[in-house]
Amino acid sequence: MVQSINMGGSIAASAIIMGCMRISEMNPQDVGALIEKALEAGINTFDHADIYGGGMAEEVFAKALALGTVKREDIVIQSKCGIRPGFFDFSKEYILASTDQILKRLNTEYLDVLLLHRPDTLMEPEEVAEAFERLHTSGKVNAFGVSNMNPMQMEYLGSRLPYKLIVNQLQFSAAHTGMIDNGLNVNMKNEAGIGRDGSVLEYCRMKDITIQTWSSLQYGFFEGTFLKSDKYPKLNHVLERIAEDNNVTAGAVAIAWILRHPAKMQAVVGTTSVKRLEEIARASEIYLSRQEWYEIYRAAGNVLP
């Protein structure tokens, strides 16, 4: 069973999240089977965004829930807003309108968490604060988070907010390790030693902000999965060897690598296959040794100083 974590110190949520970006073209029955398998495996948290399938992902999810017996209070639903065609928008009006549409599409009275999607440099934090206050006091949103923000952006926004930010969604995987490279190469004159995110990992740990990893099995910017990729032969060799030793799949080992970090991250997985979801959920059965963890890190092409 997938273990539970205390998301942001306030919400009991699964360490693995079912990402719903790709379900918009599925039929509700198949999505319902995915949801059932997720819950069977201990995955109770589901990630959406208003742009996924142009809103269709949320509608299909709601239809799938209506076919089953899952109680709303037994699952954690989060969604994101802020990305619009050609620009980002954290205006009060857009946050409020988008959230209302999200709730309508999901056929639910509330979101457990609302995340702001990609930083908007034209953000007026006082507007965001007012929107959050309205959403929280009306019972429409229980908690708030962000996606792809650095520490100073979170610090600035948080200085105006009436509520703590509990989540930051960031790209991270065995083949996309920028979030930890800089910390391993402090004071080194090399590419890995360049700070690009303001020590966001350490900041989130210090502030008890849960990091949720997107593209957890991907490399690059939506370039594809590294599993079985010719670009990562050494990484796949190591993952498959450890997988065989533990009677799991390489994908499960790659997710276990994320969960092994003491930051207690949540890994978002976007598979639409019941079988793969079941296999990935077994990541919680694996506890990688420190030696194995660093071996996977180095196998992806990283060099320790």
List residues with catalytic annotation. 52
Cα distance between residue 175 and residue 297, in whole Å: 8
Q: Which of 152, 203, 144, 207 is nearest to 179 (CA)?
A: 203
Q: Which helix (H) or strand (E) holds 37?
A: helix 28-40
**80: Cα separation from own chain's centroid:** 11
DSSP symbols for 52-68? GGGGHHHHHHHHHHHHS
| Contact call for residues 226 and 218 (beta carbons, < 8 A) | yes
Give the pair of three-digit tokens for residue 165.
């930010």
**43: Cα separation from own chain's centroid:** 13
**300: Cα separation from own chain's centroid:** 21
Cα distance between residue 159 and residue 114, in whole Å: 18
Q: Give residues with Cβ within 8 angstroms of 104, minimum separation 6.
A: none
Question: Where do we find the tokens 């190469």?
Answer: 185
DSSP character for 285?
Answer: G
DSSP character for 205?
Answer: H
Q: What is the 3-state secondary structure (H, E, C) of 99-161?
A: HHHHHHHHCCCCEEEEEEECCCCCCCHHHHHHHHHHHHHCCCEEEEEEECCCHHHHHHHHCCC
Helix axes 28-40, 56-67, angle to 10 degrees: 70
- Give the gyration radius of the chain's Cα atoms: 19
| Contact call for residues 57 and 21 (beta carbons, < 8 A) | yes
